[in-house]
Amino acid sequence: MKHIKNERLKLFANALDRVSTACVTVGIATPAAGAIYNLGGFRQTFQTLELAVGLVGWLSTAVILHFCARWVLGGLEP
């Protein structure tokens, strides 16, 4: 039974890590591309402070989710 529990924990940890990767993509890579290429007047739409707060928020969320995934993996049984 411990093999089943371990596999479920690994699956859950992987899901958390994928969500953290999605947070980086949605919250950091997408706005960075918008700012670099000025897509849809992105630079005129957002203030620098708004963008910085958003980036910090998304990055913090991604880091927290990643460490939650690592914590879940700590529950694996030998």
Does a structural domain hold residue 20?
yes
This prediction has a pTM of 0.87
Between residues 15 and 42, the one the model is more confident about: 15
Does a structural domain hold residue 11?
yes
The structural domain count of the chain equals 1
DSSP state of 66: H
Does a structural domain hold residue 40?
yes
Burial of 33 (0-12, 13-18, 19+ CB in 10 A): exposed
Rounding to the nearest 10 degrees, give the CA dihedral for residues 51, 56, 62, 66.
160
Q: Give the model confidence (pLDDT) of 27-57 as tens digits.
A: 999 999 999 999 888 888 888 899 999 999 9
What are the DSSP calls for 20-64, one per residue? HHHHHIIIIIHHHHHHHHTGGGHHHHS-HHHHHHHHHHHHHHHHH
